[in-house]
Amino acid sequence: MLVQRRPDISPSEITPKGVFENRRKFLQAAGIIAATGIGGTAFVGAKPARAVMKLSVRPSPLSVSETPTSLKDVTTYNNYYEFGTDKTDPSETADKLKTRPWTVAVEGEIKKPKVYDIDELLKLAPLEERVYRLRCVEGWSMVIPWDGFSLSELIKRVEPTGKAKFVEFTTLADKAQMPGVGMAVLKWPYVEALRMDEAMHPLTMLTLGLYGEALPNQNGAPVRVVVPWKYGFKSGKSIVKIRFVEEQPKTTWQLANPREYGFYSNVNPEVDHPRWSQAKERRIGEFGKRPTLMFNGYADQVASLYAGMDLKKNY
């Protein structure tokens, strides 16, 4: 049953189509200018105020009714090691990232491999605003209104073959735009992966925005994945490649420390990180700690994916 929990977007919040299209043209023109180098210094040197692209989104029945974390906290406190290991680093250093032009190569065990342009992805399916819980493996959490659609919309279009058992997501790794990539803290590029049924689950989201606007750079612009029942690091950011494979891929944190970070990394209050407890979490903006919920509160929807599996072993 679809329950409409959130009111429709108010008309005042919707950008008039003309303005929207003009902005789009401006961005495209800017992209061309930057790419061809015409008037390069003039454009780059001017450093215009953050070009905010409003998205027209519709509310989603998959949203939770909890209070969203403030946009300021969402955009100034997060992990994105390509931009530095401090949680304030991404907001300070991600402004150099150029998100246009941007393409995502979809390849591997599929019948219709294709290189998607970011603007094509934005129009692939109607954008929904989904308010999801986010639980970081470090013990803090947020509630974020993400904008996008189920990843399955894309997967269906590329027609996976019978050999496609896993989906692998590769993040951009460009030293010139990402200061953290110069450090050897992780093996670059960042690679994450999901089992096919996890990737096809309606909750798994191909995300292009948050709070009704195009994704801020520090949050994984221009396109990322959001898997709300897994620890945050499972949701790859700034994706340049989506590959369908037969063997379970080696993911970045798993390679970095296999004892601490498993392939599944489902939120689970009963399975502790070897160095700290996962029983509780600090919701950003709240004073006390709250208990962490099984599968981050999405057990009803996703527990069946792991029926019969020992979650202590498959952490």
Partner 1 sequence: MVRLQPTPRQIQWIKAAVFTVCLVPVARLGWLAAHHGLGANPIEYITRSTGWWTLTFLLITLTVTPLRRLTNLNWLLRLRRMLGLFAFFYVCLHFSIYIWLDQFFDLTSIGKDIVKRPFITVGFGAFVLLIPLAATSTNAMVKRLGARRWQLLHRLIYLIAICGVIHFWWLVKKNINEPLTFAALLAILLLIRLAFRARKSAAPTASQKSVTRSQVA
Footprint of partner 1 on this chain (CB under 8 A)? 72-73, 76-77, 81, 85, 87-88, 138, 140, 183, 185-186, 256-257, 272, 275-277, 279-280, 282, 284-285, 287-289
Q: CA-CA distance, 135 to 292, in Å (whole number)? A: 8
Q: How far is CA 25 from CA 40, 53, 283, in A?
A: 18, 11, 39
Q: CA-CA distance, 109 to 106, in Å (whole number)? A: 10
Give the DSSP H/E element, type plus range, for residue 249.
none
Instruction: Identify the CA nearest to 203 among candidates 298, 122, 295.
Output: 298
- Residue 264, Cβ neighbours under 10 Å: how many? 21
- Find tokens 């996008």 and name the residue: 148
Between 138 and 153, name the residue whose CB sits nearer to partner 1. Answer: 138
Residue 111 CB, shortest distance to partner 1, in Å, is 39
Residue 86 CB, shortest distance to partner 1, in Å, is 8
Between 143 and 206, name the residue whose CB sits nearer to partner 1. Answer: 143
Residue 8 CB, shortest distance to partner 1, in Å, is 30
3-class SS of residue 312 = coil
Residue 20 CB, shortest distance to partner 1, in Å, is 31
Q: Please, what is the end-to-end C-alpha distance for the chain in angstroms?
A: 31
Residue 235 CB, shortest distance to partner 1, in Å, is 17
All residues at 6 or more sequence positions from 104 whose CB lies less than 8 Å from its CB, including other chains:
115, 116, 118, 121, 223, 239, 240, 241, 242
Residue 277 CB, shortest distance to partner 1, in Å, is 7
Q: CA-CA distance, 1 to 32, in Å (whole number)? A: 46
Residue 77 CB, shortest distance to partner 1, in Å, is 3
The bridge status of strand 239-245 relative to strand 213-214 is unpaired
Between 111 and 275, name the residue whose CB sits nearer to partner 1. Answer: 275
Between 162 and 288, name the residue whose CB sits nearer to partner 1. Answer: 288
Between 79 and 103, name the residue whose CB sits nearer to partner 1. Answer: 79
Residue 199 CB, shortest distance to partner 1, in Å, is 26
Q: CA-CA distance, 278 to 12, in Å (whole number)? A: 42
Between 26 and 276, name the residue whose CB sits nearer to partner 1. Answer: 276
Query: Rounded to the nearest 5°, which phi and psi values hold at 268?
Result: -150, 110
Q: Using an 8 Å Cβ cutoff, are 169 and 101 in contact?
A: no
Q: Report residue 133 as tokens.
A: 């819980």
Q: Using an 8 Å Cβ cutoff, are 165 and 117 in contact?
A: no
Between 8 and 272, name the residue whose CB sits nearer to partner 1. Answer: 272
Between 140 and 298, name the residue whose CB sits nearer to partner 1. Answer: 140
